[in-house]
Structure 1
Amino acid sequence: MTFAFCYPKTVTPWLILLAAVSPLALRVEVEPLGKGATSTVVAVAVQVAPEEREQLGPRVRFHVEFWKGSQKLDDGSGVGELAGDGSFLLYREWPSGEGLLRVEVSSLDGSKAGVVERKVVVPVLDKPFVAPEGAPPDATALAPSPPAEEAVRFARPRLGTVVGTVELTLEAPEDTGEVRFFQDNQLVVVKNRPPWQLSLSLGATPRRTVVRAEAWSRDGRLIGEDAVVLSGSENRLEVQILLREGKGQDQPTRVTVAVSPPGLEEEVVLRVDDRPVARWLSCPCVTELPAQALRSARILVAEARGGGREGEAVLAVGTGTLLETARVDVVELPVAVLDAAGRPVSDLRPEDFHVWEDGQPVVVDSLGRSEDLPVLLGLAVDVSGSMEKDFPLVRQAVGGFLADFLRPGDRFFLGTFSWEFSLLLPWGSEPRLAVDRLAGVRVEGGTSLHDAVIKALELFRGKKGPRGLVVITDGEDTTSRTGWDAALRYARTMRTPIFPVGIRVSVLDFVFRSRLSELAAATGGEAFFVGKPEDLPAVYRRIGEQLRQQYVVVYRSPASSAGDAFRQVTVKVQREGVTVRTIPGYFPSP
């Protein structure tokens, strides 16, 4: 592909960043490619100087921004795979007109960095953008996929002739010989001839319920499936992710994204981790994903917007194999209650708690306290090169924390991260081993914080009871394969409070501080920032108090389905002057 510059030719295409790190020469070219969903799709070609290619290795970090005036319209980061000539290609969608492009590229270890910043003129194009054959996922996702042909889809539900009932009609191809209707994953009825309709009673008290339909051909082949959510939220779109694995190990998996109410969707985007892989402007929304892509993925994300509403679904697919989404009936909610001085409140009773899920009040079935139950504790310690000076004190503080906190029956694991996450100690109960293992760790490399959060949380999968993950780091992520959005989404699926501890993080580093605080708030934990490692014992004591005085609120979800949509949770306590800290909601995937 030939790229034409979209900026004044009087500006040299090579720009060198002068900074404390070694400068990295860059060349950036931009070419408009076609009309996207709302604006213009452009290709951004980035090339490092030929003499730098061998020193950088096969991968670099990049950050791209596009500004119009004071408004930032694009902000993306990731890892680029360098071709033989030192280049990599990005596909973006920008509004027409003049704007400012800023591209920053750095080596994975941060030792070399360069920035290009200049004006770009984005034209208005009439020809729709079509992703070239073999294009990367970001290009494919910017080219809207047409609604799937020969697919199945629910028509918009309508009220039945009997009060309290709803009539559902499935639109299916002519060769359909059988349709199976499921309600909340339970088979309701099998139809052998059209019309493919189902009359369903909603009961005296409508509750959220998921109806799914499978259409089968006369020769026993699955044609497709769709789902619709009844009595869902009136303020957002309900999104479901339906997976159908191929018959062979290496056969692609069919993915159907179902949006309710049907017909309201204006844009639907499917992501594997944080990489967009498909995009539709109307449903049926069906695509196939390679088996290898899913084996290496951690989450699937589907986002939909339309009719002034938005919706999202997250499906945890694990690492290496797909995980079947389980029906979620019983929810264990970690709740911390603090008084005005920030001390845990420990004398509450079940009747003091009031809980709502998606706006519906629920009955608290039981209330446990972590001081009466074994606690699960995870520690992930940053051992990147920047931690070298502080690591001896960090290691000592970790050992002291475990020795003071753990009680008989408690279990913990210990992991470290730099370029990769390494599990030093699997689930166990002997704290003295932690100091010995940390003593043998080499402190070097980059900071893969996002990857570490995901891999550490995976160790909690399938475990019950009070728990918490403590993440100790001194700087922002530099080398993760996973983006921030994917890491945050995954954290919200696991219902495990995270306690990030930032060491020597500047008060001016607003982005990193806000991300650690966001990670804590999204999971019901608390973020801490210390100026020196000597302050860690006090922080550990506070974390220990919260973990030991944590409440476990148990209730039955009114949704009673295996849907993937985010479920908003609200908890209030009947006590004056207290602060309640818990997760703002959860994805039911685990």
Structure 2
Amino acid sequence: MKRILGLLLFISFFAAFAVSVSAQSRARRVGDSPAPPAPTGSSAPTSPRPPVLGGANGTANSQQPGRTATANGPEEVEAGDVIKVNTTLVTLPVSVMDRDGRYIPNLRKEDFRLWENGVEQQVAFFSSVDKPFSVVLMIDTSGSTRFRLEDIQDAAIAFTNQLRTDDRVMIVSFDDQVRVLSEFTSDRGRLRDAIRRTRPGNGTKLYDAVDMVMNQQLNNVSGRKAIVLFTDGVDTTSRHASYASNVRDAEELDALIYPVQYDTYKDMSGGNGGGGWPGSGRVPTSPVGVLIQILGGISGGRGPISTGSGGPGTSRHEYEVANRYLHELAEKTGARGYQADSSQNLSYAFGNVAEELRRQYSLGYYPQRPAQAGERRQVKVRVNQPNLAVRTRDSYVFNPSGSVQDTAQKTAPVLQRKFAEGNLNHATNR
């Protein structure tokens, strides 16, 4: 009998021990109990959670639980729960001018306000006008430019000489091939020699060249950057990229694109090209005239478009497409386009681009609401001073991979998008 009682006691003790171990091995639950007291120097440290970035108007490093309790009771917190921190910085190049077109220096971060999709954002990054630029100078050397190549070379060299000594320039030429004649450098002698090496070729891989610069040359460049595109805008031989793909990539580009368009229509069409510029009998020679033609074609259209005589790159329709293409690249990235129908206008255009690059600000913010891949966001920037005009892009398309790794943060395209003075974020503070 004693043996039986001893065996029963042993079994009871073992069962109680097993129940205790099982209870201790269950997952911990987050309940509504009060928070534990703050740890002291003698208590064991708790495992801290990663910081959570708050909204633009909130606290940057507020601590929040990984999950919230449900109405049915506390929720289990599994091992390995992770809080992800969104570090996507959206950057915008911004130009500020008075009513006479003079650039305004010495503005501070506190002078700017910006909104995304109507919600005001906190300016988290600010760079003044004295920061250096990286500029890709793209020169069209196709057959259509053979009559003006020397003027183009002279104007391009003058442009590089107007930049600041710490600005870096890359020289790219394109015809039926795309050539990098000089990597990024601030050596004006090397840049001059590279420009003088340009020679006219056959065909025009304009779309392929722009695609290469946007997606291969600028994607590893941090800081302020721009493309100055010297061309008539006519593409004849691109195989990999298109008008549409260039514009789409420009919307995700965190760089400005300044087209400087020179007129080769008369040269290529043998005088009037079978009727001249669409709807007018001749090519407009003033920037205002070209802008009116572009805006007229975009807003209302002209009905059927007749074409001139000649092969690829000689018809009126191709030059009309060229105008729209260059206008869109500038407008999508927040830049401006220039017409260069004479040597004087060519120098004027380059001088204006150089001046604007020297006087731009850069603003950055972390969107309060995370964007989805391919999502378009509307952007508005204002200055807290009267009678000043602000020009920047008015929207961007979010690219989750980013185009630049800058200080370990992904930089979304901003703005690569839209820089035509008419339809952009070009607002005057009153």
TM-score by length of 2: 0.58
- Structure 2 residue aligned with 1:551: 361
- Structure 2 residue aligned with 1:352: 111
| Structure 1 residues 467 and 336: alpha-carbon distance in aligned structure 2, compared to 1, 3 A threshold | same
**Matches of 2:201 and 2:372, distance apart in 1:** 43
| Structure 1 residues 544 and 551: alpha-carbon distance in aligned structure 2, compared to 1, 3 A threshold | same
- Structure 2 residue aligned with 1:391: 149
- Structure 1 residue aligned with 2:221: 463
Residue type at the aligned position of 1:563? A
Q: 1:490: how far off?
A: 0.3
| Structure 1 residues 407 and 562: alpha-carbon distance in aligned structure 2, compared to 1, 3 A threshold | farther
Q: 1:200: how far off?
A: 7.2
State the Cα deviation string for residues 132-179 of structure 1 (Å, max 9, x = none).
Answer: xxxxxxxxxxxxxxxxxxxxxxxxxxxxxxxxxxxxxxxxxxxxxxxx
**Matches of 2:187 and 2:328, distance apart in 1:** 32
Runs (4+) of structure 1 moved beyond 6 Å?
none
**Matches of 1:330 and 1:373, distance apart in 2:** 18
Q: Secondary structure at the match of 1:376?
A: strand
- Structure 2 residue aligned with 1:570: 380
| Structure 1 residues 366 and 400: alpha-carbon distance in aligned structure 2, compared to 1, 3 A threshold | same
**Structure 1 contact 329–556 (Cα < 8 Å) conserved:** yes
**Matches of 1:363 and 1:540, distance apart in 2:** 34
Q: 1:404: how far off?
A: 2.3
- Structure 1 residue aligned with 2:308: none
Residue type at the aligned position of 1:541? G
- Structure 1 residue aligned with 2:133: 375
Percent identity reads: 29
- Within 5 Å, give how 1:80-479 maps onto structure 2: 328-370=87-129, 372-408=130-166, 410-458=167-215, 459-479=217-237
**Structure 1 contact 327–561 (Cα < 8 Å) conserved:** no
Q: 1:463: how far off?
A: 2.4
**Structure 2 contact 233–325 (Cα < 8 Å) conserved:** no
Residue type at the aligned position of 1:339? D
| Structure 1 residues 493 and 328: alpha-carbon distance in aligned structure 2, compared to 1, 3 A threshold | farther
**Structure 1 contact 357–557 (Cα < 8 Å) conserved:** yes
| Structure 1 residues 349 and 440: alpha-carbon distance in aligned structure 2, compared to 1, 3 A threshold | closer
- Structure 1 residue aligned with 2:427: none
- Structure 1 residue aligned with 2:345: 535
| Structure 1 residues 328 and 415: alpha-carbon distance in aligned structure 2, compared to 1, 3 A threshold | farther
Q: Secondary structure at the match of 2:391?
A: strand
**Structure 1 contact 524–584 (Cα < 8 Å) conserved:** yes
Q: 1:562: how far off?
A: 6.2
State the Cα deviation string for residues 112-142 of structure 1 (Å, max 9, x = none).
Answer: xxxxxxxxxxxxxxxxxxxxxxxxxxxxxxx
Q: Secondary structure at the match of 1:485?
A: helix
**Matches of 1:545 and 1:380, distance apart in 2:** 18
**Matches of 2:345 and 2:363, distance apart in 1:** 32
Q: Which has the higher contact order (CA 8 A, sep 6+)?
A: 2
The higher radius of gyration belongs to 2
Matching residue within 242, 248, 253 for 1:489: 248
- Structure 1 residue aligned with 2:273: none
**Structure 1 contact 327–560 (Cα < 8 Å) conserved:** yes
Residue type at the aligned position of 1:465? G
**Matches of 1:574 and 1:566, distance apart in 2:** 26
Larger helix proportion of the pair = 2
TM-score by length of 1: 0.43
Aligned residues: 268
| Structure 1 residues 576 and 477: alpha-carbon distance in aligned structure 2, compared to 1, 3 A threshold | farther
Residue type at the aligned position of 2:245? A
| Structure 1 residues 382 and 360: alpha-carbon distance in aligned structure 2, compared to 1, 3 A threshold | same
